[in-house]
Structure 1
Amino acid sequence: MTNRLPRRSFDEAFRLQVVKMIREQNLSVPQVCRDMSLTDSAVRRWVEQYDAESAGQPGIGKPLTEEQRRIRQLEAELRQLRQDNDILKKAFGLLRPGTEVIHRVIAQWQKKAETVAVSTLCRVLSVSRAGYYAALKRAARPAVIEPIEVQLKAAFTASGRSYGSRRLRAALEVQGIDVGRWRIRRLMREHRLQPSWKRKFVHTTDSRHTLPVAANVLQRQFAPASANQAWVADITYIRTRSGWLYLAAVLDLYSRKLIGWATAPSMPAELVCAALEMAIGQRKPSPGLIVHTDRGSQYASELHRDVLQRHGLLASMSGKGNCWDNAVMERFFLNLKMERVWQRDYANHAEAAADIGDYIVGFYNSTRLHSTLGYLPPNAFERKMAATRPIELSENS
């Protein structure tokens, strides 16, 4: 006999947050539903209500002016152009084995459109003109590429050029390709598949305050027996050309899944509360869940304490100046910056927020292989554990 899942209810603030994530961060409805364990039909109904409101029809907010509707239309067209451009760039990057393919593209383009100068094509495709003409004079046979090299490059590119030899081996194993780690390391050296990143540092939270500080209840117990027993939260910063963007995030230690986040150009207490409310709205945890943070003034604020008390959650804080007490969240922020942020040059806050949302929903929660989870993504790990034993994800999602 099949047990029916209990019906969940969401307040207007959470529904509006989900819809804005879809519209402003250019995420698909199925993608968000899979990540947050929501019903597709319900989310589409929320989106329709939001669109109706935006068109001036009765809704949960004020109707938009003609100028605002035009701005939204232009923003949507710009997002679509950027997405199409990114798809073409990624597809081209996955398919090309080297400059030889680019040279052939230039030669074929010259045959079809002789009015386009070779120098222009070389500049657009990022190759030297001298190298192109030298390639035309060479009569060398094309190099034979092993299928494993093609698969390796595809896996490396699909990871955002962030995977090392261990995760690449696990990714190839999922595809049914059994190859040793040392061979992968050799091929990575030969083809220059080397992740590169650099550290930057900016203070985010300030523990020099007189606000109440909670005891360290978590005590570095980073492997709870089930979901929604212990969460960790923190704030980090993202560099953009328009100034710093601050990211507050909440992570479930059981599956390492990022379940709540919020961004803002400053970092008041409202920022961390917005991320926590998103996590609570999605997971509906039982009272007694531990929420571990550092001693920052945002987490010690009355506003944050009220959110915890209202939902019956237990506050836990790291020792003074001890980053190891919140090491899991620190590691997530490092992965985010190594694998995405430090490879980008964000023009403004909106562009950064959209890309971070894409990383969390489209890569980190659904695709990225976690060594702690047996090289499974958080969503796949939760589904696997749900199939082997009953776990509580608020609504048994």
Structure 2
Amino acid sequence: MIALIDEHRDRFGVEAICRTLGATACGFITSRAYRAAKTRPTSARALRDAILIEEFRRIHAENYSVYGVRKMHHAMVRAGWQIGRDQTARLMWAAGLQGVRRGRKPITTKPAGEPDAHPDLVERRFAAERPHQLWVADITYVRILGGFCYVAFITDVFTRRIVGWAVSASLHTEGLPLLALEHALLSTGASRGREGLIHRSDRGAQYVSLSSSDALITAGVSASVGTVGDSYDNALAERVNGLYKAELIHSKRLWESVEAVELATKGGCTGGTPPACMKPSATALPRRLRRLTLTIRTQRPLRPDLGPKPRALQLPSCAVQRAQLRPLPLPYLLSASSTAEMQLRREEVRK
């Protein structure tokens, strides 16, 4: 509260600020109390905290700025300070100090510093009526012996097949996403200027850069980007990255070099027995079954004592979305009459 008044006192005055704050639920200070707080001497705790914060910063810097609360507490005790662990955590938070965390993943997509005007043409609707209508793109990383390498993929939404990819030791736009785009255009035979082709990506600096935008315009492809820090806006590309790592990369503990990752990715995309993420979906439903609701009509039972005519089985849209990822289970393919006959036969056998 004191800092708020200090910030705005030259513009509004202390009396007006305290009177306005007193009319709200959070107002609790008067102008007299403000002046008393400003003239009150600094407390012993505040003086000790200021000294300890400087000592915290010195010890933290001497230990490569990696110590957390536990190690900083032991380091302060070894230095001769009588301080508790909770006080250590409070002063480290006040000083903006924190320990290093294990297993931190490299950042493959950095958001652009300036706002861009790329529209969102997909809005999480990852569906297409024909090939080369919607492509999704993303970048992932692979651990190698010398650090990391990066892999860019472009996937066709209709066929669920990787149509373009590139492997590089850096995140430069020319050597990674643009190379994957050129590979996709050449491998699919998609003519430049194809009407309706959308290139979907996240809002990373590699995809919203000037060189990337010029390449998409030259190829006649419409650019579509999602929001910052939202993986659901590019969920299909994230799924491809996960399958690529689970079925190809994680089969080996450590890759030797960028060339080894590139050869393995090439073998999975062009030859041998590719992983499931690199070939058309084997569980995709026929076009006649791609509806919001499936109706499976059954036949009239052979005997009247088996009950009335069963109604049509309506599957909700969520069941259809799950069915697009795997074949329909056997009970959905059996008619009600055949199921009733099987039940009748079982009862006859028991008798």
Q: Which has the larger radius of gyration?
A: 2
TM-score by length of 2: 0.47
Greater RCO, CA 8 A, separation 6+: 1
Q: How high is the TM-score relative to the length of structure 1?
A: 0.42
